[in-house]
Structure 1
Amino acid sequence: MPSIASHFSGSYAEARRKFLDAAEDRGARIQSIELPGHRGALGETLAMDAARLGAADASRLIIVSAGTHGPEGFCGSGCQVALLRDDDLLRRLDEARLGLLLIHAINPHGFSHLRRVNEDNIDLNRNHVDFERPLPVNADYAAVDSLALPDHWPPTAEQAAALADYIAEHGMAAYRAALSRGQYTVPDGLFYGGTAPSWSNRTMRALLREHAATATHLAWIDVHTGLGPWGHGEKIFPGRAAGLPLARSLWGADVLAMFEAGSASPDVSGPVVSAAYDECPQALFAPMGLEFGTLPDQQVLDRLRADCWLHRHPEADDLQRRAIRRDVRDAFYCDDDAWKGMVLGQARVVMLQTILGLARAA
């Protein structure tokens, strides 16, 4: 039996190789869509890879995706590889005549280069909006951009005091919301949603049209990290209210909606999973962001600030660059066997719930 650690990887290139090998061993139908014009941190090819298993004519489909936010893919990839090696779960999938679509590295550039955002500094969970309509307005972002991203890093005492004064006046919740809900006006800023569908957005939609256009029931688990208690997998519902009863029937009363009190996630604009509403309108749809905690929330946010500062300051020396990249990786992936065990145990329970529940759903 493979060890827990063997499912996980230390780089995007290793994770991609393990995923493709495990998918091939399982006899999956594999598709690889390469990201044009970009290479990985080690010079490797960057791609969004998909593996399809289960009944070819399945009307009920499970999607498990990873790497929406770059280095969060270390966790999601490990969950996918473990699933591909799980004889019992895949036997249950076949017996229930369900389809399974695994999507590896939605954001391959960020996964390889250790950035939460994509090759254009776009947060993909802010990019799935209707760009034919007026974009969401975040009027509060302008006031916090220069405070969160000062011209020096680490911030000077004076710069840190200015941010502390803002938080004291407006509150921590307002500060975090102003940053994280998404903004569409500052391309080199934090949580930028873009002005058009990204490559990842377009590629994901093409996969949905191919694999889920005729599904009557669709459950989508998008694996994330960086929010909540260490090692705990929060079941976040990032969809429309009409789908919440199905989500709770599949995954339990601890499914927390972003639009309700108590969720670790802010109510953000344009999450990746919302593409299913456009591409699969015929399906009864239950999405989940399965979010595993790593570091305290404020530490994670501060490391994202450092990463965005580095994006604005390419002249930074190599020592600082490597330190910031390492800190970002550690904010989204705990290279700790106990954490990995907690992740895989909870991910397996969620997958079992999904198989059993989707097979029985009306």
Structure 2
Amino acid sequence: MALALLALVVLARLWFSKSYAEAAGRFAIACQELTSAGHNVSHQRLKLGIKGPEAEELAIDIAVIGSLDSGKAIMSSSGVHGVEGYPGSAIQLSIMDKLAKSPTFDDHAVIFIHAVNPYGMAWWRRFNENNVDLNRNFLRTDEHYSGVPEGYEEVKDFINPKTAPKKREPSFNIRALMLILRHGFDNLKQAVAEGQYQYPTAIQYGGSKLEKGPTMLTEWLMTNLASTNKLFAIDHHTGLGPSGHDTLLLPLELKFDDREKFEKLQDLFPGHIELLDAKSGVGYEIKGD
């Protein structure tokens, strides 16, 4: 049993890269290996025009395997939260390796979007080159880049200290406890995590407009998925859910607006479903997704 677990750990680590440059290079090689195996592969780079710590060009890599003309696609995206892109990249590389050893197909497409936030991934940050949290930057047409969540002003100074925290700071725990007692944990979670659009140097800043990377990615999606009528998209993150356990986070409205689809997902992934609901579980509602 111990040897089997050790083998799994070693195998998993094979796919983890030590830098953005390495991950992007391995992604390009994976595309070449898929092509060599006979798959229909398209690989494009959406370049941001900025460099990483190794003077590498930062770009969003997109690979399409199969046929977009089929009208059906499954899409995997990684690195929206920068540093979280390393496990996301590992998952993508592992799947691409398995696809290279599998029969070719043209009745659907598999799309890999590697490093949506290459700057954050390269510099080991959650946010992008403008301190924007991209998970709060993709706003719907009925949403606006303005304002702060209810209750945010009460916690703003606490979560955005003017000086670096000390290794041991007992007052932090006391202040945190007081805020929880005063406002309630669920309310604080929602206020902090929802996304704010007023303080550019603070955390959870969603920006003042759609950022350059997301703009290029959105344009690519609009152009290339115009004939796609069935799409299943998974965006890989590491921030929520139990460690080492896959959690599928779903929008709260899905439970009520499409009960059949929600129950089907529960049947497919029992014990892995969580809703983006501040009052239940680990989730919360956010602007821009």
TM over 0.5: yes
Report if aligned partners of 1:180, 1:190 keep a CA contact under 8 Å in 2. no
Matches within 5 A, 1:1-362: 3-27=11-35, 28-36=41-49, 38-87=50-99, 90-91=102-103, 94=105, 97-130=107-140, 134=144, 135=146, 137-155=148-166, 156-158=169-171, 161-238=174-251, 240-241=253-254, 242=257, 245-246=260-261, 248-250=263-265, 251-253=268-270, 254-259=272-277, 262-271=280-289
Distance 1:157 1:5 in 2: 37
- In structure 2, relative to structure 1, the CA distance for the partners of 1:265 and 1:101 (3 Å cut) is same
Q: CA deviation at 1:94?
A: 1.7
Q: Aligned with 1:29: secondary structure? A: strand
Q: Which residue of 1 aligns with 2:6?
A: none
Distance change >3 Å, CA 23–CA 192, structure 1 → 2 = same
SS in 2 for 1:167: helix
Q: d(CA) in 2 for partners of 1:149 and 1:105?
A: 27
Rounded Cα–Cα distance in structure 1 between residues aligned with 2:126 and 2:193: 13
Give the deviation of 1:178 after TM superposition: 1.4
Once residues 252 and 110 of structure 2 are traced to their aligned partners in structure 1, the CA distance between those partners, rounded to angstroms, is 20
Residue 127 of structure 1 deviates from its aligned partner by 0.8
Q: Which moved more, 1:77-86 or 1:208-217?
A: 208-217
Compared with structure 1, are the counterparts of its residues 248 and 66 closer, same or farther at alpha carbon in structure 2 (3 Å cutoff)? Answer: farther
Query: In the aligned structure 2, how far is the partner of 1:90 from the partner of 1:246?
Result: 29
- Shift in Å at residue 258 of structure 1? 1.2
- Structure 1 Cα separation of the partners of residues 140 and 147 of structure 2: 10
Mapped contact 2:78–2:114 kept (Cα < 8 A): yes
Letter matched to residue 225 of structure 1: T
Q: Contact 1:182 / 1:193 at 8 angstroms: preserved in 2?
A: yes
1:136–1:168 CA distance, 2 compared to 1 (3 A) = same
Contact 1:247 1:255 (8 Å CA) reproduced: no
The superposition leaves residues 128-169 of structure 1 with CA deviations (integer Å, 9 ceiling, x where unpaired) of 114775446413112211112222222554455434322232
Q: Distance in 2 between matches of 1:84 and 1:196?
A: 34
Q: 1:142 to 1:201 in 2, by over 3 A?
A: same
SS of residue matched to 1:26? helix
Counterpart CA distance in 2 for 1:245 and 1:116 is 35
Aligned pair count reads 267
| Structure 2 runs not aligned, ≥5 long | 1-9, 36-40
> Contact conserved, 1:136 with 1:269, CA < 8 A, in 2?
no
Q: Distance in 2 between matches of 1:239 and 1:62?
A: 22
**Secondary structure in structure 2 of the residue aligned to 1:122:** coil
For 1:7-55, what per-residue CA distance to the aligned partner results, in whole angstroms no more than 9, with x for missing partners? 211111111111110012102210001112x211222110000001012
Distance 1:53 1:201 in 2: 22
Read off the aligned partner of 1:180 and give its amino acid letter: A
Evaluate the alpha carbon distance shift between residue 88 and residue 240 of structure 1 in structure 2; reply closer, same or farther with a 3 A threshold: farther
The 3 A distance-change label for structure 1 pair 89 and 99 is: farther
Provide closer, same or farther for how the CA distance between residues 82 and 25 of structure 1 changes in structure 2, counting only shifts above 3 A.
same
Over the aligned positions, Cα root-mean-square deviation in angstroms equals 2.5
| Distance of 2:286 and 2:259 partners within structure 1 | 17
Distance 1:78 1:72 in 2: 11
CA contact (8 A) 1:123 1:191 kept: yes
Separation (CA, whole Å) in 1 of partners of 2:112 and 2:61: 8
Percent of counterpart pairs with the same letter?
29
Q: Secondary structure at the match of 1:178?
A: helix
TM-score of the superposed pair, with normalisation by structure 2: 0.83
Distance 1:257-1:53 versus aligned 2 partners, 3 A rule:
same
C-alpha change, 1:260 and 1:54, in structure 2 (3 Å) is farther
